[in-house]
């Protein structure tokens, strides 16, 4: 009986959702697919790269979405990337330190700590401040790095004591530029997996 109830539970939920006049049944299955499997990903082909006039990012946001952000400006090694819905990402050395236009609000990171071309001891700890919105808060961070120069990887560990959270980010670089990263940049956002394409 327990097995049967577990088997039929998803079907019962589907029927309840489908019975809502404000929620068409045609929307149910795509939503379930996105929740369970994730949003459709796509490969960046050579043709796609050649058609793009500017450098761009392919950003996978957890399981929920995949988006393209195009390079808008470069100022003092700060790269500003925008997408078609008005969201904005600002990076330095591949690391996101400002995000705006999101439903959860904006965030910005102060006292940006590292540079790839600077020798940093793996024991060093850097301190910075994260500014969050909705609600407005300033959160202190402590960050340490492990550089694997053979693999051209940077492993970043960030602790937020007040939230009792620890996040681990990964950056891969080639010829002095980050080409791939996995970043947890906001407590309410999933991990962002980013491919960088430079023109």
Domain boundaries, the chain: 2-36, 46-197
Please give the residue that has the higher pLDDT: either 95 or 13.
95
pLDDT at 13 over 70: no
Number of Cβ within a 10 Å radius of residue 126: 16
Give the global pTM.
Answer: 0.75
Cβ distance 163 to 186 under 8 Å? no
CATH superfamily of this structure's domain 46-197: YmcC-like (2.40.360.10)
82-137 per-position pLDDT tens digit? 999 889 999 998 999 888 887 666 677 765 555 655 566 667 788 888 888 777 88
Is a pLDDT exceeding 60 seen at residue 9?
Answer: no
The reported pLDDT for the residue numbered 161 is 93
5 has pLDDT over 50: no
pLDDT of residue 120: 67
- Alpha-carbon distance of 182 to 64, in angstroms, equals 15
Helix or strand or coil: residue 137? Answer: strand
Q: What angle do CA 24, 28, 30 make, to 5 degrees?
A: 125
Strands, DSSP E only, in the chain?
Answer: 56-61, 65-75, 78-82, 88-92, 95-100, 107-110, 125-132, 137-148, 153-160, 165-174, 177-183, 192-197
- At residue 192, the pLDDT reads 93
How far, in Å, CA of 189 to CA of 175, rounded?
30
pLDDT of residue 103: 66
Q: What is the pLDDT of residues 32-66, one digit of tens each?
A: 333 443 456 888 999 999 999 999 999 998 887 89
């Amino acid at each position: 009986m327990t097995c049967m109830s577990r088997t039929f539970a998803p079907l019962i939920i589907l029927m309840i959702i489908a019975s809502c006049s404000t929620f068409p049944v045609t929307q149910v299955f795509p939503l379930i697919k996105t929740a369970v499997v994730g949003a459709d990903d796509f490969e960046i082909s050579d043709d796609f790269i050649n058609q793009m006039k500017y450098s761009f990012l392919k950003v996978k946001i957890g399981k929920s979405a995949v988006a393209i952000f195009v390079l808008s400006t470069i100022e003092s090694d700060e790269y500003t990337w925008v997408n078609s819905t008005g969201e904005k990402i600002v990076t330095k050395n591949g690391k996101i330190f400002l995000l705006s236009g999101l439903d959860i609000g904006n965030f910005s990171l102060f006292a940006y700590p590292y540079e790839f071309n600077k020798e940093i001891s793996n024991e060093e700890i850097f301190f910075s401040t994260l500014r969050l919105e909705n609600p407005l808060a300033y959160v202190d961070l402590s960050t340490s790095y492990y550089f694997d120069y053979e693999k051209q990887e940077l492993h970043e560990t960030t602790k937020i004591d007040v939230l009792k959270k620890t996040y681990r980010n990964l950056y891969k670089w080639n010829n002095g530029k980050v080409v791939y990263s996995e970043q947890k940049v906001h407590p309410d956002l999933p991990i962002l997996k980013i491919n960088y394409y430079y023109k």
